[in-house]
Amino acid sequence: MPDNFTKRWQGYSAYAEDTPLTKIGIFQAPITREAFKKAQLDVSHVYSSPLLRCIQTCNAFLKSCRKNNEIKIKVEPGLYEWWALFGERLPLVG
């Protein structure tokens, strides 16, 4: 689990539907970067689901690439898990 949780205007119960990235996920981002490096792939664009853990994954990956100040994460609502889990609501980000 994360070390802490950012306060949300909906309260901490909002995390029940939109969970943060775990420590394991944060650890895996640099490993993914190494796989990209080994495959000689460079990153110029990053798209993310609006889910908190997805945005955090992108951010951790970009930090490991040292590109977090160069590349903006493009949040794409269409990149989302099965909508039936959430009804008609959008993810509770921020």
What is this structure's pTM?
0.71
User: What's the rounded Cα separation, in Å, for the pair 82 and 28?
Assistant: 24
Q: Could you give the 3-state DSSP secondary structure of residue 87?
A: coil
Q: Reply yes or no on whether the pLDDT at 56 is more than 80.
A: yes
Instruction: Tell me the one-letter amino acid at 49.
Output: S
The per-residue pLDDT for 21 is: 86
The per-residue pLDDT for 75 is: 86
Q: Reply yes or no on whether the pLDDT at 47 is more than 70.
A: yes
What is 18-78's CATH number?
A: 3.40.50.1240
Instruction: Provide the pLDDT confidence category of residue 36 given band limits of 50, 70 and 90.
Output: very high
The per-residue pLDDT for 94 is: 44
The per-residue pLDDT for 52 is: 84
Nearest Cα residue to 57 out of 39, 37, 30: 30
